[in-house]
Amino acid sequence: MIVGVPKETYPGERRVALTPAVVPMLAKAGLEVVLQAGAGESAGYPDAQYQEKGAKILPDRGAVFAQSDIVVQVLCHGANDKTGADDLPLMRRAQVLIGFLRPLGSPDSVQQVAKTGVSSYAVELMPRTTRAQSMDALSSMASIAGYKAVTTVADELPRIFPMMTTAAGTITPSRVLVIGAGVAGLQAIATSKRLGAVVSAYDVRPAVKEQIQSLGGRFVELPLETANAQDAGGYAKAQDEAFYARQRELLGNVIAESDAVITTAAVPGKKAPVLVTEAMVKRMPPGSVILDLAAERGGNCELTQAGERIQAHGVTILGPINLASGAPYHASQMYAKNLTTFLQNLIKDGKVRPPESDDIIRDTLLTQGGELVNARVRESLGLPALVAQQSS
């Protein structure tokens, strides 16, 4: 079987789905790799490196889709809402498509992908199990985004992060607050601490307290009822507006004492909760920075504008929407390893394994045979269960 890697077309996207190092691994699994010319250059992987590992370079995108049994991308149509639709005419029935598809946030795009007849697998639907950890691209990219969030804030902040004792006096360390202690938040805590900041963190899930403290952060405890704050998969659950209103009231004082705030709170498939209001921004010290990693889902800060850098009340508010692409070399390295492990599990004896044979395959399979087949996504979108799902 042939695995094809087209060049990413989302504006500013510098990652590539596979790196040269994984080509021999895929070859051992009986998979040949073809690559669109220049697909890896923006990430730091020239065509020659792929050729040295046994990959074949093709001149254009159409050739990659035409020759490939499996197409792997970083941002497929759905996750790529700018140019992703251009790939739809290139897809064919029974072809396999793997990548980020944003199934819970772009239902119309998912239906368009389904109509092409491809069997698509959405990496963001990877189950949170021990066996699936090595395939969890969402966590890999969140880790990169958490790191980049801190380095971006450090560049914007008119202060330095660490304490310094100099002949000109002592410089006090910056105070960083991280809201949300998922993968991105924990990486932001760890990176801020390594840079010498005084780090505090808040999460609605009390269970993450030990993780925050193990990274050197102070856990901000608020007197709120949080017994039902976490779902079975470990993600934060959406709360009612009364809960968020009380949370904002209590967080206000903590935010007012912070030089930088990094927000990462997101609920899968839902609009991000607003945790930082304009009134709270007004109370922050002049020159403070807010970086909102939930910008693409509406933002945790009331003033966030997705993809924009704005100034309000003396505070810089950043709303990046593709931060992982800012470290494309290592982001691609991690993503490629996730996809390679997934492919090694998906393909057996030169054939795609059926979804009923494996929970990872079942949970990530999004479209097949012209239908949106993922039970979780159908339920989220209010679609009736398929007949096969009802009988099972």
pLDDT, tens digit (0-9, with 9 covering 90-100), for 177-191: 999 999 999 999 999
Catalytic option among 36, 120, 139, 192: 139
pTM over 0.95: no
- Collapsed DSSP state (helix, strand, coil) of residue 377: helix
Q: What is the pLDDT of residue 391?
A: 37
Q: CA-CA distances (angstroms) from residue 314 to 119, 127, 268, 301, 381?
A: 50, 42, 32, 15, 41
Q: What is the pLDDT of residue 388?
A: 58
Mean pLDDT to the nearest integer, 92-111: 95
Catalytic option among 36, 120, 136, 175: 136
Q: What are phi and psi of 291, to 5 degrees?
A: -115, 120
Domains of the chain: 2-136+327-391 (3.40.50.720), 144-321 (3.40.50.720)
pLDDT grade, residue 236 (50/70/90)?
Answer: low
Q: Where are the beta strands (DSSP E) in 167-265?
A: 169-171, 175-179, 198-202, 218-219, 260-263
pLDDT grade, residue 235 (50/70/90)?
Answer: low
**CA–centroid distance for 168 within its chain:** 43
Is 202 one of the catalytic residues? Answer: no
Between CA 167 and CA 297 the distance in angstroms is: 47
Q: Where are the beta strands (DSSP E) in 172-257?
A: 175-179, 198-202, 218-219
Catalytic option among 81, 111, 235, 376: 235
Q: pLDDT digit string (tens) for 257-308?
A: 999 999 999 887 788 989 999 999 999 999 999 999 999 999 999 999 999 9
Nearest to 64 by CA among 29, 40, 100: 40
Is 10 one of the catalytic residues? Answer: no
Nearest to 340 by CA among 70, 41, 68, 66: 70
pLDDT grade, residue 204 (50/70/90)?
Answer: confident
Q: pLDDT digit string (tens) for 305-316?
A: 999 999 999 999
Q: For residue 122, give every residue at least 6 positions away whose Cβ sits within 8 Å of its Cβ, in sequence order, or none.
A: 99, 100, 101, 102, 103, 364, 366, 374
pLDDT grade, residue 334 (50/70/90)?
Answer: very high
For the cut 90, the answer to whether the pLDDT of residue 231 exceeds it is no
Return the percentage of the chain with pLDDT > 70, whole number: 95
For the cut 90, the answer to whether the pLDDT of residue 125 exceeds it is yes
Catalytic option among 112, 128, 305, 376: 128
Q: What is the pLDDT of residue 118?
A: 98
Is 235 one of the catalytic residues? Answer: yes
pLDDT grade, residue 392 (50/70/90)?
Answer: very low
Mean pLDDT to the nearest integer, 245-249: 81
Catalytic option among 133, 134, 230, 380: 133
Is 133 one of the catalytic residues? Answer: yes
Is 136 one of the catalytic residues? Answer: yes
Q: What are phi and psi of 366, to 5 degrees?
A: -105, -50
Nearest to 317 by CA among 246, 255, 235: 255
pLDDT grade, residue 246 (50/70/90)?
Answer: confident
pLDDT grade, residue 387 (50/70/90)?
Answer: confident
Q: What is the pLDDT of residue 269?
A: 75
